[in-house]
Chains A and B, each alone.
Chain A
Amino acid sequence: EADIYQTPRYLVIGTGKKITLECSQTMGHDKMYWYQQDPGMELHLIHYSYGVNSTEKGDLSSESTVSRIRTEHFPLTLESARPSHTSQYLCASSENREYETQYFGPGTRLLVL
């Protein structure tokens, strides 16, 4: 069983607010990822990190930003939320080895009004 946590699980917030979605893992994994899942189920990689102080943009352009100051923690921030940011956000992590499985957190479902 993977130990990767996301908070909050659900968030309803007004337009223009700053939000931070938390993601933590206790497995000591070097690699971490953020995915955005649209209502049609498709998953899009928006950010990833290979380790502390490493962050990269994913395949889908996103207005969010991430940081990786500690191995176990990979928060995602939206400076000014908009209704177009309404989605489910999934965090994942994996070891830094070839063919390694990604383990996913339970997700944060965000609704911006």
Chain B
Amino acid sequence: GNSVTQMEGPVTLSEEAFLTINCTYTATGYPSLFWYVQYPGEGLQLLLKATKADDKGSNKGFEATYRKETTSFHLEKGSVQVSDSAVYFCALLPIQGAQKLVFGQGTRLTINP
């Protein structure tokens, strides 16, 4: 079946540190891949997405590259800010079936000044 595995949290970094949150997936074919972010007290917001192999999604300084060889979609940012503190969800949308998002378990990120 389809599944997403994310790096376990919580993750705590200092401001301006480099961020990587690992995400790997299992799916049939080539699903679309997403990173969503959830700020405290809010719903999920789309951060970035990629719909085919080798695509790179980017937004607000965050990047992730769709790697079919390693079935991965790791999230990276070169210099994090306190305002990046949130929960990050990796997700896939299968190409077959009911088109339902499959989420990872979420990674809580805290950035200290």
Report which B residues bind A (CB closer than 8 A): 32, 34, 36, 38, 42-46, 49, 51, 87, 89, 93, 95, 98-101, 103, 105-106, 108
Which B residue's beta carbon lies closest to that of A96?
B99
CA distance A104 to B34 in the complex (A): 13
> Contact at A98–B43, with CB atoms within 8 Å?
no
CA distance A78 to B93 in the complex (A): 28
CA distance A90 to B106 in the complex (A): 15
Give 1 or 0 for each of A76-113: 1 = CB within 8 Å of chain B CB.
00000000000000101000001111111111000000
CA distance A88 to B9 in the complex (A): 20
A47-93 contacts to B, CB under 8 A, are: 48, 56, 58-59, 90, 92
Point out the residues of chain B lying under 8 angstroms from A6, CB to CB: 43
16 more contacts with CB within 8 A, not counting A42-B106, A43-B44, are A33-B101, A40-B105, A41-B87, A41-B106, A42-B103, A43-B103, A45-B100, A48-B100, A58-B100, A98-B99, A99-B93, A99-B95, A101-B34, A103-B46, A105-B43, A106-B42
CA distance A43 to B44 in the complex (A): 11
Point out the residues of chain A lying under 8 angstroms from B42, CB to CB: 106-107
